[in-house]
Structure 1
Amino acid sequence: METVRQRQQRRQSDAAAHRQRYTNNPQLHKFTLKFSEDTDVGNYFASHRIDVTNSTICNHCNALKLPTESPGMCCSNGKVVLMEPTIPPLLQHLFTSQDDIAKDFHDKIRFYNSAFTFASVGVRFDRELANAKNGIYTFRVQGSFYHRIGLLLPEAGSNPHYLQMYIYDTQHELHHRTNTIPNSNLNPAIVEDIKAILDEVNPYSINFRYISNFPEEDIKNLSMLIHTNIPGLDQRTHNVPTAPQVAAIWINNNVPPGAIQKRDILLRTRMNQLIHISEFSG
């Protein structure tokens, strides 16, 4: 039986061997498809036709289904009703128009999307494959993939990022968003339009805007004192905390066993890094 440590060592060894093979074989870096203007791309890809002559339409949601698909797979025979959201006219204009503003939005749509993200991506990826200098850019992920939310307010002397821009220094938000991505040359008018759209229809943006409206004098630092010098209290059971701060207290009264899932607890180190700790850490 392979132990956890042995499995980790084997995986690390396999990953190192894979990187070594990739590095030692420069031919792998050149496997890209190049087509001239008169190349018939259809000769390089196999076509596959799907017969939809016998397809059916759901009586409840009007979904078009293939003959092999079951009757209730789309909406469970009307039990699932998805409300179609109303597209804001301004957003629809950015996607469908062909004017200069919309064309700039189309060309830099990933940059505009990144300028309004709420969280960063936490992932372990292969940096050698994710390199546009050698062959095709490939984003290869190994392990967990998650979104990471940091502090609600930026560190002293730092510019706001991610959800911090929805809360902190909103008077200069337009400047922060247009300059958050170097050399992106985002159009301030488009950034202002997207901000207005999100503030109108996005529940996360609306809630964070609500937090930003709290006056600073209403947000106070609170401290908690735990007194253990009570006569008759067993000091071997209740001791003074070793840390001067209490982050959170969980009360699991009347909760059946197995109903509580493993908690995801993050700590921010003095080096401004986030690390996971066990819920049993004292």
Structure 2
Amino acid sequence: MRGRYNCVKDFKEGIETIRYQLPQPKTCHFCNARLFHRETSSMCCKDGKISFPNIPICPEFMELICEQTPRGRHFRQYIRFYNNMFAFTSMGVHVDESVASNSRGIYTFRAQGAIYHRIGSLLPHTPLSVRHLQLYIYDTDLEIQRRMSQSVEAHEDIVRLIQRILDMHNPFVEKFRQLSRSPNLHQCKLLIKEQPLNQPQYCLPNASQVAAIIVGGEEAGHLSGREILVQTFGGNLINVQDTAGFYDPLQYPILFPFGTYGWDINTRDANRNKVSCRDYYAYIFQIRDDALSMIWLGGRLSQQYVVDNYVKIETHKLRWFEHNQDSIRADLYQGLQDAFNEGESDTVSIFISAPTFSSYI
């Protein structure tokens, strides 16, 4: 058995120790991001080439999350639960509970494998299976009771406050409430739209832009690969594409109470240049002294959001490699050319993979 050695038993106070202190953070003179030791402005805004407006914050949520009261501490501890209670989509992820539930040390959100956002039908199969989007539409008179029944930890005053804030500000909620009042609800479908191409990034979406109600046999028209047509009834969940701008606000209503769009495949900066997924989140994840952000005040929910979008960034990198094998001459990397040169004719025996650059980690 390996023995244990106490490395500090011979420590003497008289021994001189060397103290290291990192330099004070600097401020990017392009976007005002706080830059720590050895960070440069190319990381936050690509030396001023990228610029986005600050994500608007809700004063009511800001006050609640900053409260130094039992209610505020409870909300911060269970913020992921409250967000999930009001989320329009469900999140498929394998969370490493050995880290997340560890009572020692700080809370850590660690996911294993892929992350999926899924959306269900407008109406449930049974009254007892109402969840997520359906809570905004089906039997709204009992909405509070149904949300409270999800956990004994829920505080009714907090649930009512979140409901009131989202009813007041969120365009998705406005459209879903409108649908719930439709006399032909059982004949309706809901089209969740992409962000308009000509809309500036700083413009908040309104209810007519985020979704449309389709009644009866009315045609939805041509749908892009990222728009979603939610059926009235249906057993299958629909995957929300991570290239759609509504991917973030549908899953994180507490972080984006105004329905602010996240990154999508057509996101452009102030100069109308396309911005990659990595560059977009590298910009909005920065700490700026002149701008408050719910992303950095959300605690455990912010950890989930950062991990979720880091997985999105890595997925886009791998997707690029998958679809650009000809550009990187992948046949030379995986030995396919060598197999043909050696006269290998059995294509089944040739293993074909999708290699990446050696610099990809």
The answer as to 2:170 corresponding to 1:202 is yes
Question: 1:95 Cα deviation (Å)?
Answer: 1.2
The farther-off stretch of 94-103 and 189-198 is 94-103
The answer as to 2:79 corresponding to 1:109 is yes
Aligned to 1:83: 53
The answer as to 2:163 corresponding to 1:192 is no
The farther-off stretch of 172-181 and 76-85 is 76-85
Letter in 2 for 1:179: S
Q: Within 2, Cα distance between the matches of 1:264 and 1:123?
A: 21
The farther-off stretch of 160-169 and 98-107 is 98-107
Structure 1 pair 201–153 and aligned structure 2 pair: CA distance change class (3 A): same
Specify which of 216, 219, 229 is matched with residue 183 of structure 2.
216
Secondary structure of 2:71's aligned partner = helix
Letter in 1 for 2:159: V
Structure 1 pair 83–200 and aligned structure 2 pair: CA distance change class (3 A): farther
Q: Within 2, Cα distance between the matches of 1:265 and 1:121?
A: 19
Question: 1:204 Cα deviation (Å)?
Answer: 2.7
Question: 1:158 Cα deviation (Å)?
Answer: 2.7
Question: 1:179 Cα deviation (Å)?
Answer: 0.8
Structure 1 pair 121–76 and aligned structure 2 pair: CA distance change class (3 A): same
Specify which of 31, 51, 62 is matched with residue 61 of structure 1.
31
Alignment TM-score, normalising by the size of structure 1: 0.51
Aligned to 2:68: 98
Aligned to 2:23: 52
Q: State the structure with more CA Rg.
A: 1
Q: Within 2, Cα distance between the matches of 1:263 and 1:49?
A: 53
Give unmatched runs, 5+ long, in structure 1: 1-47, 223-245, 253-259, 277-282
Q: Within 2, Cα distance between the matches of 1:117 and 1:145?
A: 16
Structure 1 pair 201–106 and aligned structure 2 pair: CA distance change class (3 A): same
Aligned to 1:146: 116
Greater share of residues in helix: 2
Q: Within 1, Cα distance between the matches of 2:170 and 2:74?
A: 23
Contact 2:89/2:133 (CA < 8 Å) preserved in 1?
yes
Q: How many equivalent pairs are there?
A: 189
Bigger relative CO (Cα 8 Å, ≥ 6 apart): 2
Give unmatched runs, 5+ long, in structure 2: 1-18, 103-107, 190-216, 240-361
Question: 1:264 Cα deviation (Å)?
Answer: 10
Identical aligned pairs, as a percentage? 30
Alignment TM-score, normalising by the size of structure 2: 0.41
Structure 1 pair 118–88 and aligned structure 2 pair: CA distance change class (3 A): same
Q: Within 2, Cα distance between the matches of 1:251 and 1:102?
A: 46
Deviations 1:216-267 (A, max 9, x none): 2376479xxxxxxxxxxxxxxxxxxxxxxx9x99869xxxxxxx87999999
Question: 1:212 Cα deviation (Å)?
Answer: 2.2
Supply the RMSD in Å over aligned alpha carbons: 4.6
Q: Within 2, Cα distance between the matches of 1:207 and 1:220?
A: 16
Q: Within 2, Cα distance between the matches of 1:138 and 1:219?
A: 39
Letter in 2 for 1:189: D
